[in-house]
Every structure is written in C-alpha cells, then in structure tokens.
C-alpha cells in the first residue's frame, strides 16, 4: 500500500522525504517492525515511542510518523511530523484496513458502569434476530461466532480496525463496542465512523489516570462531540451528566430514563431474583435480568435496537430471551440454599447499585455477607468509599485482595478500613487471601443467606507483583460451597 494513501485525513505538519513509497504494514511497537514498515512513535504513559525511532529504523522501517522530527534524519527514509501520533495512528489504521467501520454499523457504549452488559446483550439480541454481528468488549471479542480473547476495554486502533475488517469480510452488519475513557483520551476511536453512541452514567472511576472528575467527564463528552451527522447519541438523563454529553454533538439527540421525562421511559413493575417486569414506553416485558441498574441497561438496549431499525415489538420479544453476562450479577444457589452472587462491581457506584438490588429482593430474614477488595496501582480515593458502602449495607463485610498488582495487599485493605464508621467495625473482617476470604464467607453463611463477591466478575486471574495467577470467583465459590455441602 502507498504511504500517501495510508496518510489520508492525517493532520500533517511537516514531511521530509517521499510519500509515494510502498509500505508493508503499520507498527507502533519498534520490536515488531520489519523491512518496509511505517513506524508510528506514540507518547505513552510509561514510555515514549520517539525514543525507539532509531531501533525501528535499524529493524528496517521505511517511514516514521512522529510529533518531533529527530535531530538527524537518514536519506531515503520518509519522516512525517504530525500534531498527534495517536490520532495519526487511528486514521492510518482505518485507511490501511479500508475503513471497515463505513460498512459495519458500529455503536459505541461509554460510561462508568454498564458498558459490557449493554454491548454484550446487544450482540446477543442482534444474533438472536438473525444478524451476523460483532462485539468488542472487556470480556471478549466476537466476529459473528468466532471468539478472541480481549486484553483492553478499548483495544488499540490497529487492533480495532483489524477486527472490524474481519467482521466486514464475515458479513457482519452490526458491531457493538465498549468505549473507555482511556480509549477516547488516547485517540483509539479516532477515524472510526459510528452509527450511534450510548452514554450510561458517570461516577467515581479512573481518577488515577484522569486529573479530575471534570476531565474524566469531558473525555467521555468528546466521544459524542465527534459523532457524525446521521448517527444517534443516546444518553441516560437520570444522570446529571447525560445532557452535557449532547451539548455539542451533530448526532440525533435521544434520551432514556426511569425517573425523568425522556424519549425512552421505563418503569419497574416487579423486581425479583427470577427477573424484572418492565413497562417500556407503555409496553410490558418480562426479562431474566435483575435490579434497577439492569432496567437502565435494558432500556438503553431497547432504544438502540429500535434506532438501528428493529421493530419495537420484536425487540421486546428478543429482550425476554436475553441471558445475563458472565460476572454481572451472576448467581448460584447451593444445595444448602445459600445464594452466591458474583459481580464486577469495582467502583463505589456499581457496588452500591448491586447492594441496593440485593436489598430490594431480600426478605431481611437472612444475612448478607459481602466480600470485596480494591485494585492496586489504581485510584486510591475510592477505597474508603467502597469499604464504607460494603460495611454499612451488609450484615458482614470481608475486605480482601482484588488485583493488588505491585502494591502490598495489606496496605490496600488498610486504606479501605479508613472508610468504615465506628458502628460498623464489628461487622468487618480483613482476610488478605481472596480464596480464604470467600471460604470464610461460605462458612459463615447459613441456609437462605446471601454472599456477594464483588470486584472481579468475569476475570479469571489475580495479578500479584506483576504475575497473573488463575483465579475465578464463580469457580471458587462453587467449589467451596460444594465441599461444605458434602
């Protein structure tokens, strides 16, 4: 492919050398560069690609895209100076793969909570409706029925376009994609053509990465600012940030809510462990999912499907068949009648939502035991808040390890304990080993009690001191409850 074709729509500040040269592929990791490649020097949070330009050239790079021209340049090598290397990479990736998002109807879901559930259930709904569909999510990547492992909520722009191209070639008509604040901030979604965008909610998260809540909010808003004319922007207006998202968008403005006036309105008629009875725009539907937070998710799914052209009655029928997503309010009931719930809730808002849902469906004749931890090397300010929520809304709260990463687990738990109010101290335990914490919760549980294991959900590993070890909350609690029942 010619370099000049790959550079279409890239904001170029200076060029040294020829652009009418053939290049093999695009790389932003100098270790992967081969002869004839174009190397894009990206400034990352841990390293700066500009430091690896010389390495890329020694590996055979034919061209370099960078924000700063090197002091010394080599004859016969093309150097392209751009304002933003990450934005350039996104446009180059889209061009390299033939702009597949023009031919697959792509919907991005952003917000603090609900992204995975909405994207995954939209995939499920459209598959059940008979469409070939793609999914780019935290849990997995699906090209129709072919599954790939996911490594990031929003992959890098080369990976996104590679999978979108595969979806296009497989005949997928739709793709549902989680869009994280990191992905937006790092321009991973630039160069993509979205048919629609969905905003779920905004709460305390990623403040280890964003300097403030306002910056976190504005990064999310940028996604809607960049939606094209002819697309739709669907936002939850029960969240005070919902309408902010639509302020500067060119997309068709749509709203959904449970509490306020909106284009798409839902009412919870019944909320049980077996499911929800919802009234959506005056039509009733029974679904297998549980809780107010899922009522919001389902309303967003309904509105998205209708705006993508499906008939409303057919959408309701398909919604009634939806199965819950792995690690999102996933529950089992043991032989001894103990209910164990595994949920990904790793933010204060998500934890409060899950505990409120349990509160609404419990009889109060049983005790609620919550096992929860907080991730290491991440936003420390949410630790005491999550401990406060867990200890005040549960009969017993066990603080344990999540993914401690490079931090000392005991230090994380100590940060959490600072949020426990004096009247709740006696309800808390600190158990560093996560398996042991789950075991103690199971040993404390009597028939009809409820155990909530929060924070990791679908994850099948624990990250400790840079190493990943196999660990699955649902697998662990099933195994322990089975052993105790023998």
Q: What is the pLDDT of residues 82-138, one digit of tens each?
A: 999 999 999 999 999 999 999 999 999 999 889 999 999 999 999 999 999 999 998
Model pLDDT, residue 181: 86
- The one-character DSSP state at 479 is H
Task: Give the N- to C-terminal CA distance of the chain in Å, as an integer.
Answer: 64
The model's pLDDT over 465-478, given as tens digits with 9 standing for 90+, comes to 989 999 999 999 99
Q: Residue 110 pairs with which residues in a beta bridge?
A: 199
Backbone angles phi, psi at 373, to 5 degrees: -140, 180
Q: Are 324 and 330 in contact (CB under 8 A)?
A: yes
Distance CA 221, CA 224 (A): 5
The model's pLDDT over 416-427, given as tens digits with 9 standing for 90+, comes to 999 999 999 999
Q: Are 314 and 134 in contact (CB under 8 A)?
A: no
**Is residue 111 classed as helix, strand or coil in its secondary structure?**
coil
Q: Residue 397 pairs with which residues in a beta bridge?
A: 370, 428
Q: Is the dihedral of CA 21, 24, 26, 28 positive or negative?
A: negative
The model's pLDDT over 313-370, given as tens digits with 9 standing for 90+, comes to 999 999 999 998 889 899 999 999 999 999 999 999 999 999 999 998 888 899 999 9
Distance CA 15, CA 59 (A): 22
Backbone angles phi, psi at 149, to 5 degrees: -80, 140
Residue tagged 């690609």 (tokens): 49
Model pLDDT, residue 151: 75
Q: Are 223 and 134 in contact (CB under 8 A)?
A: no
**Is residue 143 classed as helix, strand or coil in its secondary structure?**
strand
Q: How many CB atoms lie within 10 A of CB 321?
A: 11
Q: How many CB atoms lie within 10 A of CB 75?
A: 5
Taking all residues of the chain, what is their mean pLDDT, rounded to a whole number? 94
Average pLDDT over residues 51-68: 97
Could you tell me the pTM of the whole model?
A: 0.85
The model's pLDDT over 191-221, given as tens digits with 9 standing for 90+, comes to 999 999 999 999 754 444 445 778 889 889 9
């Amino acid at each position: 492919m010619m370099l000049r074709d790959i550079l279409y729509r890239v904001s170029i500040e200076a060029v040294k050398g020829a652009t009418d040269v053939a290049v093999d592929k695009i790389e932003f990791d100098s270790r992967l560069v081969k002869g004839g490649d174009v190397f894009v020097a990206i400034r990352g949070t841990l390293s700066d690609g500009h430091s690896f330009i010389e390495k890329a050239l020694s590996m055979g790079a034919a061209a370099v895209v960078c924000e700063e021209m090197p002091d010394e340049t080599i004859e016969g090598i093309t150097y392209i100076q751009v304002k933003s290397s990450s934005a350039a990479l996104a446009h180059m990736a889209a061009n390299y793969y033939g702009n597949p998002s023009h031919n697959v109807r792509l919907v991005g879901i952003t917000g603090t909570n609900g992204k995975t559930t909405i994207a995954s259930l939209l995939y499920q709904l459209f598959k059940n409706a008979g469409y070939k569909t793609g999914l780019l999510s935290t849990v997995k990547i699906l090209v129709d029925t072919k599954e790939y492992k996911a490594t990031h909520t929003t992959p890098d722009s080369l990976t996104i376009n590679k999978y979108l191209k595969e979806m296009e070639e497989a005949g997928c008509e739709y793709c549902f994609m989680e869009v994280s604040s990191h992905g937006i901030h790092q321009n991973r979604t630039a160069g993509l053509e979205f048919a629609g965008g969905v905003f779920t909610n905004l709460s305390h998260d990623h403040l280890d990465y964003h300097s403030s809540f306002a910056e976190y909010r504005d990064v999310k808003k940028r996604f809607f600012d960049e939606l094209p004319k002819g697309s739709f922007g669907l936002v939850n207006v029960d969240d005070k940030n919902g309408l902010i998202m639509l302020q500067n968008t060119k997309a068709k403005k749509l709203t959904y809510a449970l509490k306020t006036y909106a284009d798409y309105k839902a009412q919870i008629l019944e909320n049980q462990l077996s499911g929800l009875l919802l009234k959506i725009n005056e039509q009733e539907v029974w679904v297998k999912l549980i809780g107010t937070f899922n009522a919001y998710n389902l309303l967003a799914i309904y509105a998205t499907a209708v705006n993508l052209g499906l008939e409303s009655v057919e959408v309701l029928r398909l919604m009634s068949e939806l199965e819950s997503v792995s690690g999102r309010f996933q529950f089992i009931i043991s032989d001894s009648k103990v209910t164990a719930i595994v949920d990904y809730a790793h933010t204060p808002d998500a934890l409060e939502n899950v505990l409120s849902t349990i509160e609404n469906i419990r009889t109060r004749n049983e005790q609620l035991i919550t096992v929860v931890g907080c991730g290491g090397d991440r936003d420390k300010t949410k630790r005491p808040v999550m401990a406060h929520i867990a200890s005040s809304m549960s009969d017993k709260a066990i603080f344990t390890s999540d993914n401690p990463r490079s931090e000392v687990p005991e230090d994380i738990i100590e940060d959490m304990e600072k949020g426990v109010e004096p009247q709740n101290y006696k309800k808390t335990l600190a158990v560093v080993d996560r398996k042991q914490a789950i075991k103690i919760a199971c040993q404390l549980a009597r028939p009809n009690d409820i155990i909530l294991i929060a924070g990791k959900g679908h994850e099948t590993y624990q990250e400790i001191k840079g190493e990943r070890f196999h660990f699955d909350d649902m697998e662990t609690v099933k195994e322990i409850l089975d052993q105790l029942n023998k």
